[in-house]
Amino acid sequence: MTHLMCRIVSDDRNNWVAVKAGPGAATYSADNDGEMGSAHTIRVDLSQALSQRLGRQMSMMSVYKVNYLRIDVLNVNDGNDNDAGVAFQGQWNYWAPTKHRVKAMKLARAIEDEDGADEVGDMFGELDNMRAYKGMRFGWDGDQQVKFQTGESFAELAGSQWDLNELFNIYEMSISQPQEWTNALWENGRCGYPNQFGWSAGFTNNAQTQAVFNTELDSGTQDVHTPGATPYEWHGEIDVLGGLLLLDTTHSSTDDGDLTVNDDDYIYRITVGVKSWSDF
């Protein structure tokens, strides 16, 4: 059985699909030269999505088997300004399970369990008459990136919460390094770097064509109502460590410049299908 879940991207970090980095809003518009000038990143938390869907606490100390992904580009109701079309491109990012990555996450859980055992208010210790789940909750590469992200209190670590990127870097420092070998091809360390694959999606409201000769249109162009959507849709099977995915938007169709007064604004709807999961 596949659990299908979809949500329009939000700028509220408490949602399972939310903006991680970029302009601070969930809306997007075409770039003038077609290459986004800064990171536009959306975070997808499958553990939270399935917790809400199934009514149970889903763990990040798990591997989630994803077999469906879809991106729809939608118009935004923020003014009467969407009169052209757009295409966006980017890449999906996720950590696949490997022996070293899973070992690093188990190590973090053991450390937090030991460190927080005698701390009041710590999710692994005493909780002042409250009930709380003790599962680890990791961000991708910083604090406040997922709901109820697990705190840490080690002066040597950046920030105040656990994230996978820093955890894997610390783990790699404790084992053999590439420079210790004369011919190591794994220069990114034992945990490597995230898996990635590209995507492209778009939406068209109107197409602009050259106006018929001798018309009174000052601009020399006219709109042709040609609505159409080109969603990104993927069928396959990938194993997602911790249930975290990132969606980067790196490029777009070029902005239509002087042909429109205001930039067209769009938003994404993300659909994910999860086939199964297994804890470790």
DSSP secondary structure of 34-67: SB-SS--EEEEEHHHHHHHHHTS---SSEEEEEE
Q: Is the pLDDT of residue 127 over 60?
A: no
In CATH, 3-95+195-258+266-279 is 2.60.120: yes
- Among 221, 176, 205, 191, smallest CA distance to 264 is for 205
- How many other CB atoms sit within 10 Å of the CB of residue 69? 21
Please check whether residue 270 is in contact with residue 90, taking contact to mean a CB–CB distance below 8 angstroms. no
Please check whether residue 72 is in contact with residue 268, taking contact to mean a CB–CB distance below 8 angstroms. yes
User: At residue 270, what is the residue type?
Assistant: I
CA distance 130 to 198: 44
Distance of CA 88 to the CA centre of its chain: 15
What was the pLDDT predicted at 118?
47
What was the pLDDT predicted at 120?
44
CA distance 161 to 154: 10
What was the pLDDT predicted at 78?
74
CA distance 15 to 26: 12
- Span 10-21, average pLDDT: 90
56's tokens: 């149970």
pLDDT > 90 in the chain, percent: 53
pLDDT of 180-237, one tens digit each?
778 888 777 889 999 999 999 998 887 766 555 555 555 555 667 777 789 999 999 9
Q: In the sheet that 221-230 helps form, which strands lie side by side, from edge to edge?
A: 17-21, 41-45, 244-252, 85-94, 195-210, 221-230
pTM for the whole thing? Answer: 0.86
Measure the CA dihedral 79/82/88/94, to 10°: 30
The CATH 2.60.120 portion of the chain extends over 3-95+195-258+266-279
- Among 246, 252, 201, smallest CA distance to 18 is for 246
CA distance 21 to 252: 17
